[in-house]
Amino acid sequence: MQQDKRLRIIHCFRSPVGGIFRHVRDLVIEHSKAGHEVGILCDNITGGEHEERQIRELMPYLALGVVRMPIQRSITPSDAGALWRAYKEIKSLRPDVLHGHGAKGGAIARLTGSALRVNRYRVARLYTPHGGTLHYDRLSLTGQVALTLDRILEFFSDMILFVCDYEQRTYMAKIGRPRVPTKMVHNGLNDPEFVPVPTQSDSVDFLYIGMLRDLKGPDIFIEAFAQTERALSRPLLGLIVGEGPDRAKYERQIQMAGLGNRLGILPPMSAREAFRTASALVVPSRAEAMPYIVLEAVAAGKTVIASRVGGIPEILGEDSRALAKPADPADLSRIMVEALTIPGWHQINMPEPIQFRQRFSSQTMAKDIMQVYQDLLSS
């Protein structure tokens, strides 16, 4: 990746879990390899040992280090203190680029960057929603507040980067036409991730990987799993991999459905490690932007069954029979039954591997985003 200038880049985000963290890790590694100095600022009250290990593995690429501090998910009075501390930490690192990810990360990057500009410090301020506030209902009070704040923060932005067309369209529908330049750059994967992952001999029928919270739909998966067993008139095996605030609720749901000995829950692990446990992944989310787990599973040669939400149709195809109605366990179960009973279902409904690889490359993603950084700083 040839670039004009060696940059100092800081990525700001709240929680070091899920797709946002994956996106940031890829950018950190690719841009560090290209000779740029990179750092991250994120929350220190979420994530577990799996995420801590990922941060440790990322350290060789973080010339500007890691700043961990309490950042609440909701809007609270403590946000003022977090912003002040973030400003002091970021000012000492003298970045050229502040790239905020998600609602809280976007606010920190844009507001601290604007404060640096008041002091005549030149820094590019970018924001990638990753869904974030776009998941809120415009008619709810919380949604009105969050979406209005995002609109106001445009005045403190130089560029809004979207990870999929769906995200860009949703932003325009819920917040309005952006008053700053925008660009859409798809998430991408590294070359080793396009190597198929074999399924182990003691595999399960269906796998869920993700946060254990209602937005991601584990409850929908559990209900669809039970309906699939009834439709096939035989027991199945399933696995849920992840952690989150609603774990106890899902454990109760599994027990009440009589699935305790057939549907288990394991703590977070790497996606490719989890892929070994099953040939089919179910993504039952109520809302998404451009989920990495779908990209990773397709690249690993797995069957993917998912809700028709966010940018998932951009991955699997708008007319894909692998897409279920959102928040509809019965429709999800219908597709799960098809995947188990129709010969060649995977080959018919999954993306063509060569075209998929050409479209979703992390090297291309990082190169395109670096070009945005360079263009903003030279303009």
Q: What is the pLDDT of residues 165-213, one digit of tens each?
A: 999 999 999 999 999 999 999 999 999 999 999 999 999 999 999 999 9
Give 122-150 pLDDT, tens digit per residue. 899 999 998 888 988 889 998 999 999 99
Is 292 among the domain residues? Answer: yes
Cβ pair 188, 364 in contact under 8 A: yes
Tell me: do 109 and 182 sit in the same domain: yes
The rounded Cα 166 to chain-centroid distance in angstroms is: 14
For residue 120, pLDDT over 80 is answered with no
Quote the mean pLDDT of the chain.
Answer: 95
User: CB within 8 A of 105, min separation 6: which ones?
Assistant: 11, 12, 13, 14, 20, 42
pLDDT for position 4:
65
What residues are paired with 184 via a beta bridge?
162
pLDDT for position 216:
96
pLDDT for position 51:
86
Tell me: do 31 and 177 sit in the same domain: yes
Into how many domains does the chain fold? 2
Tell me: do 176 and 228 sit in the same domain: no
pLDDT for position 289:
86
Total H helices, total E strands in the chain:
15, 13
Tell me: do 154 and 285 sit in the same domain: no
pLDDT for position 68:
95
Tell me: do 367 and 347 sit in the same domain: no
For residue 98, pLDDT over 90 is answered with yes
Compute the Cα dihedral for 98, 296, 231, 205 and give only its sign.
negative
Tell me: do 208 and 140 sit in the same domain: no
Picking from 187, 153, 150, 156, the residue whose alpha carbon sits closest to that of residue 172 is: 150
The amino acid sitting at 264 is: G
Picking from 125, 161, 182, 155, the residue whose alpha carbon sits closest to that of residue 377 is: 125
Tell me: do 114 and 17 sit in the same domain: yes
Beta strands in the chain (DSSP E): 8-12, 37-43, 65-69, 97-101, 124-128, 159-162, 182-184, 206-209, 238-241, 263-266, 280-283, 303-307, 323-324
Give 218-245 pLDDT, tens digit per residue. 999 999 999 999 999 999 999 999 999 9
For 168, what's the count of Cα atoms within 13 Å in the CB-facing half-sphere?
Answer: 15
Q: Is 242 left (phi over 0), alpha (psi -120 to 50) or beta?
A: left
Tell me: do 346 and 228 sit in the same domain: yes
Tell me: do 286 and 347 sit in the same domain: yes
Tell me: do 372 and 343 sit in the same domain: no
Give 288-310 pLDDT, tens digit per residue. 989 999 999 999 999 999 999 99
Tell me: do 112 and 131 sit in the same domain: yes
What average pLDDT does this structure show over 27-31? Answer: 97
What average pLDDT does this structure show over 80-91? Answer: 95
The pTM (predicted TM-score) of the whole model is: 0.82
Name the pLDDT band for 1 (thresholds 50, 70, 90). Answer: very low
DSSP state of 257: T
Helices 18-33 and 292-299: crossing angle in degrees, nearest 10, is 70
What average pLDDT does this structure show over 47-74? Answer: 92
Cβ pair 69, 86 in contact under 8 A: yes
Picking from 29, 16, 176, 13, the residue whose alpha carbon sits closest to that of residue 110 is: 13
Give 237-291 pLDDT, tens digit per residue. 999 999 999 999 999 999 999 999 999 999 999 999 999 999 999 999 999 989 9
Cβ pair 296, 272 in contact under 8 A: yes
Q: Which domain holds residue 115?
A: 8-188+361-378
Cβ pair 207, 222 in contact under 8 A: no
Give 305-355 pLDDT, tens digit per residue. 999 999 999 999 999 999 999 999 999 999 999 999 999 999 999 999 999
For residue 12, pLDDT over 60 is answered with yes
Is 254 among the domain residues? Answer: yes
